[in-house]
């Protein structure tokens, strides 16, 4: 997808209030994972902080046939988080809050961008262990 200036203006207006970058060097950074093999081509990266903001982004993209690439820690090794055909990058990196801990149910409620190691560090002092323990746990 190639965006005209008018379409880009409309996108920025629709996403007003949500962090957005479209300068080439930042898009290059956010638009790829660890594969480092494909050339990044993206209209920009958006950084919602709430599920309501995610909904706003997706509603606009759905209405305007804009493809979206979700992005977490960008340590994937199968190019799933690489934007190559003008997609919008939807980074979950700002949604990194641990929302609630219920010791009686042994349940923790987290946002979609919480990093594994942060969750381990949160639970260990409480006597619990988050067992997803990848080598990339510090960023994924
Ligand atoms: C140094 C290093 C060590 C690693 N060690 C291991 C290991 O020990 N074990 C292992 O299994 N893997 C390992 N990996 C591979 C990789 O880190 C893991 O697969 C990791 O789970 C990827 O998570 P991420 O947040 O970085 O995902 P990303 O690379 O950002 O995304 C991966 C895929 O998930 C999608 N996605 C990301 N976040 C969301 C979300 N919140 N909602 C919906 N879709 C989403 C993306 O669009 C993409 O398709 C390693 C990679 C590196 C670079």
Ligand 1 pocket check for 140: Cβ under 6 Å = yes
Contact 114, 103 (CB under 8 A): no
Is the domain spanning 5-91 CATH 1.10.150.530? The answer is no
Alpha helix locations (H) across the chain? 5-14, 24-30, 51-63, 116-123
Give the whole-angstrom CA distance, residue 49 versus residue 83.
Answer: 21
**Is pTM beyond 0.85 here?**
yes
Which residue's alpha carbon is at the smallest distance from atom 33 of ligand 1?
80
Which residue's alpha carbon is at the smallest distance from atom 12 of ligand 1?
134
Strands (E), the chain: 19-21, 42-47, 68-71, 87-91, 98-102, 107-110
Spans of all domains in the chain: 5-91, 96-140
What are the beta bridge partners of residue 47? 19
Q: Which atom of ligand 1 is nearest to the CA of 133?
A: 8
Contact 100, 109 (CB under 8 A): yes
3 pLDDT exceeds 90? no
pLDDT tens digits for range 98-133: 999 999 999 999 999 999 999 999 999 999 999 999
Per-residue pLDDT, 78: 95
Question: Measuring CA to CA, how many Å separate 46 from each of 1, 62, 84?
Answer: 17, 15, 16
Contact 118, 93 (CB under 8 A): no
Contact 104, 62 (CB under 8 A): no
pLDDT tens digits for range 50-71: 999 999 999 999 999 999 999 9
77 pLDDT band, cuts 50/70/90, is: very high
Give the whole-angstrom CA distance, residue 138 versus residue 120.
Answer: 10
């Amino acid at each position: 997808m190639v965006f005209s200036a008018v379409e880009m203006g409309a996108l920025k207006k629709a996403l007003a209030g949500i962090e957005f970058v479209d300068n080439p060097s930042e898009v290059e950074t956010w638009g790829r994972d660890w594969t480092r093999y494909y050339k990044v081509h993206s209209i920009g990266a958006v950084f919602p902080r709430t599920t309501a903001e995610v909904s706003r982004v997706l509603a606009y993209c759905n209405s305007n046939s804009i493809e979206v690439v979700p992005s977490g820690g960008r340590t994937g090794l199968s190019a799933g988080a690489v934007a190559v055909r003008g997609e919008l990058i939807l980074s979950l990196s700002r949604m990194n809050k641990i929302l609630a801990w219920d010791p009686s149910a042994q349940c923790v409620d987290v946002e979609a961008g919480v990093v594994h190691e942060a969750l381990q560090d949160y639970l260990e002092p409480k006597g619990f262990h988050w067992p997803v323990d990848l080598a990339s746990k510090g960023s994924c």
